[in-house]
Amino acid sequence: MMGTFFGILLASGAAAQGTQTASAPPRAPAPSTAPATAPAYRIGRGDVLAIAVLGQDGLGGEFQVDGEGMLAFPFVGRVKADQYSTVELEKKLTSLLSDGYLKRPQVAVAVKEYRSQRVFVSGEVQNPGAYGLRPDHSLIGLLQQVGPLTANVGHEVVVIRPPTGAAAAPAGDDPPSPAGATAYPGQVPGAEILHANLRELRSGYPDRDIQLRPGDTVYLPRAAQVYVTGHVARPGAFRYEEGLTVFQLLALAGGATDRGAEKRARIARVQDGKKQDIRARPADPVLPEDVLHVPERFF
C-alpha cells in the first residue's frame, strides 16, 4: 500500500514541477524551438506538503510549512522548505535522511494545498474568499476550482491587479461607482483592470485565459440589464447577454405593438460619462444599461 501511495505521490510531484524527479540523473537541456515550460512552483509559507518515504510508513504524511518557512520532519527536525521546488526539497530530505538514518532513502514531495500564494474571489460566486494560486496560474483553472456561480452572474470576469508592492483593497459585494468610472472590489489606485468573457473561459479557449498573479482579485459581476420602453408588448428590464442585438432585444420585449414605430426606435446610451442618442438598427449590438425606446407610429 505504501509503495502504491509513494508511486502516485512521486508521479504527481513530477507532473507539478514539469521536470525530472530526484531519482533521475541530471541532463543538459537539448536545443529546442518548443516554448519554454513554466518555472517550477516554489513552496511558500503556509503550504501543506504531502511527503512519503518509500518503505517507511511512519515517516510519511502531511506537513505544513510554518511562518518561518520551516517544516518539522521526523528524525531530521526542522527543515527549511520556503522557496524550494518539490524536487529540490526531495533531494534535501534524501540527503538528510541518508546522513546516519536510512540507507538509500527515496523521498517524494507534492504540494497538497497552495496557501502561500493567494488570489481573492468575490461577486456572483457561491464560495467567495481566498484561493491558493496553483502552478499554472490559470484563470480557467481557478474558475473550475471555485465551483458553482450564482444564477445572477453576468457575461464577464474582471481581474483587478494591484500595482507592484500594493495590497488589494477589501473586497465588497457592491463596489461603489464614481461618476464616469467603475470601481471594483480589490481595486486600489494604479490597479490594472483585465476583462475576460465568461462564456469563452467556460468553453476552455486557451487564448482567452489570463495568467493570474498573487494578490489578484477575481470579480464576477452581477448580470447587467438593458431596458425597453415605449410601444412594445412587454416593456421593462432584461438580462444583458454578450452579443445581444436590437432585433433580439425587441423579440424579448414581444415586438412592437400596432402603434409602435419599430423603424424609428432609438437607443439612449451613457458612455464615458456622456449621453448618446443613437438610431437603432436591427443588427446593431446592444450594450449594458442601454435603453431602447420604440416611439408611437405616425398615422
Domains of the chain from N-terminus onward:
2-23+38-113 (3.30.1950.10), 118-220 (3.10.560.10), 225-294 (3.10.560.10)
Examine the pLDDT at 204 and tell me if it is beyond 90.
no
What's the pLDDT score for residue 231?
97
Question: How would residue 165 be classed by pLDDT, with cut points 50, 70 and 90?
Answer: low
237 three-state secondary structure: strand
What's the pLDDT score for residue 132?
87
Look up the pTM and report it.
0.65
Tell me the backbone φ, ψ of residue 59, rounded to 5 degrees: -95, -20
The DSSP bridge partners found for residue 291 are 227, 268
What's the pLDDT score for residue 135?
81
Mean pLDDT within 199-227: 92
Question: How would residue 100 be classed by pLDDT, with cut points 50, 70 and 90?
Answer: confident
What's the pLDDT score for residue 18?
42
**Grid cell locating 153:** 452572474
List C-alpha distances in Å: 27 to 22, 67, 85.
12, 35, 18
Nearest to 94 by CA among 16, 12, 21: 21
Please state, in angstroms and rounded to a whole number, the distance separating the CA atoms of residues 220 and 196: 10
Residue corresponding to grid cell 477589501 = 170
**Grid cell locating 129:** 474568499
Cα dihedral across residues 196, 197, 199, 203: positive or negative: negative
Mean pLDDT within 239-255: 95
Helices vs. strands in the chain: H and E counts, helices first? 5, 15
